[in-house]
Structure 1
Amino acid sequence: MDLDPTDGQALLLDTSARFVDDRMPIEAVRAFADGAPLDPGYVAAAAQLGWFAMFVDEDLGGGSVSGDPVADAVLLAQLRGARLQPEPFAATNTVAGALSGQDAILSELAAGKASATVAVAGDALWDDGLRAERSGPDLVLSGTVVVDDPAASWALLTATLEGDAVQTLVPTESLPRIALGCLDVTRRLAALSLDAVRVPAAALVPHAVERTRTLATLLSVADSVGAMDRLFTMTRQYALDRIAFGRPIDSFQAHKHLLADVSLVVESAKAVLAAATRAVSADAPHAGEVASIAKVYVGGRAARFGQDCLQVHGGIGFAWEHDLHLYLRRITANAALCGTVDRHRDRIVAAHAEELR
């Protein structure tokens, strides 16, 4: 089972695919991975396609091609994962989907004039080590978070305030940051340090903690599914093209079994992503749980999936010049970001704890 794009979504995907193939093909992705800066024109052009506008109202310059911004974002995230595109897509849309009443910021996000990020490392969306204390009309934030868009203008951060999780929107221009390495070389991470940073209490974003967690999880899973689908296609084609002992290697029984197993993982991942997308789109009471189920399934199988594809490729798969390792890095890193698999298992259990009692 897969998501069935509407006519508008199909046009968006086709236009976006041609844009990516022109502006950020795999050669440009490799240059970015080697340290080349992200072309600012790439972000501006992507904004013109509506990449950052889906969760923004039309009167602020936004709009969804289908009326379902969650499905639009998931389909685009899959396309981007298949083509190993760099940020700031997922985080910016996650923040846009959580904000309300921040018209000026939302307009800038939709137009690509600003980007936003969230803390992504490990279980940062649940407990990222940020502490918040009240000080008169302000909040004082302290701690360090890891974000996946070092150039972001804004950060929507989760902190613990009087025992509860709260979110606050913080401008990042004055925050010290340290560039970090990442297993996924197509991704840039940075540590933001907050040392008693004062923000007005009005910067609190109400009722958005669960929404942020769910959207970030869903888009991370969608990115992985797109990358896994492309990696399986590459692996299948290699098995057809590679000749050993006078026959394509996909005719050998061992490879048939391995390819069948890999294919099953891909199709199951698409199905669980589709189910999670529909639940989040409908704002169903169990949407967060289903998004976590998708993360557990996809994230829990990502590394083994990539290793199985590597086995089919054999020695060529170990070469730096081959694209396989870029996909393996992408899906393995995604499994550790926006909540670890163990954290999402705990989230699923917590959703049923009351009825179990």
Structure 2
Amino acid sequence: MKGLDWKWYKSDLNSIPKNGLKVLSCFSCGGGSSFGYKLAGCTVLGNVEIDSKMNKLYKQNHNPKYSFNMDIREFKKYPDEEIPSELFDLDILDGSPPCSSFSLAGAREKGWGKKKKFKEGQSEQILDDLFFDFIDVVEKLKPKVVIAENVKGMISGNAKGYVKEIIKRYDEAGYDTQLFLLNGALMGVPQARERVFFVSKRKDLEFPKLKMNFDMKPVPFGEVEKKLSSVLGKPISNSMRRYFFKTPAGKPLSYVHPKGSLFNYHKMNRKRVAPTVTASDNNLMHYKEPNYLNDQTIIGLQSFPQDYDFMDQSVQYVCGMSVPPLMMKGVASQVIKQWFGKECERIEDRKVANE
């Protein structure tokens, strides 16, 4: 949609022309990336998601044709004859393998190779291995293109060796891979969110080298505040108020904390882009009033549709765990333009001929 910005609604998708490209999303969570593909004109056939609560959210907001509520390790062993045939003819396979082991926040290397689970009720997994399980699915379905999003920490320090292994595994599966470090703030998302995107193409396809350059004007928090009726959520605790009032706008509370604690708690600045929305509850604060930001503001900062139905789930958790739709729209749009342009034209020609 021409002129679409971070404040949008699910009904806006009705006016976006379809390009005929088919997508399946793995590790889909609440479906942030799926919205991005839909905003780019793609048809998202369905998803693979281990968390039953997140999968319930996905189905509520996306109404997928196919939905696999299971571990990616289970899906990759799913009998081929029980998988719908159109999933073996995908244009894009999407995935955001869990990445907390490689986050720059906290102890990184100490957590590598250890079994973990994100939420109560999930099966334990060695999160570092899930990217390779995802590539096993790539090898199984053989889509034309694979787009995988992950944290910036994957290309820092010792994790670089892990990235080399991922690229090697893609190569063995028959794919050439490019890496892009992108910032959502330059892609229409009103937050500073740096993420790595692995974009891979099947080797038998003669696609040119992909270019990714985004330079949209960043959206400062003050502009977000103007578009919403209110941004104030619940008050911060009395124990944090003293740090809040001493902290300059745009800084984390650790800026004034004597031990450097509270580094995840950020105070907004009207003239700057908001910091990254994380899955931790209530860590973003107003620049003046001693209040956290409300749910509708978090939804806007993540560029989720304003009428997304979160049911009984935490807004910040779902948003923080998801790819911002406008960020994925930007990546998908460039892949479509540079790699699928002529194919989309052929699809459109066939539609016109059949009418």
If the length of structure 1 is used for normalisation, what is the TM-score?
A: 0.27
If the length of structure 2 is used for normalisation, what is the TM-score?
A: 0.28
- Decide which structure has greater helix share: 1
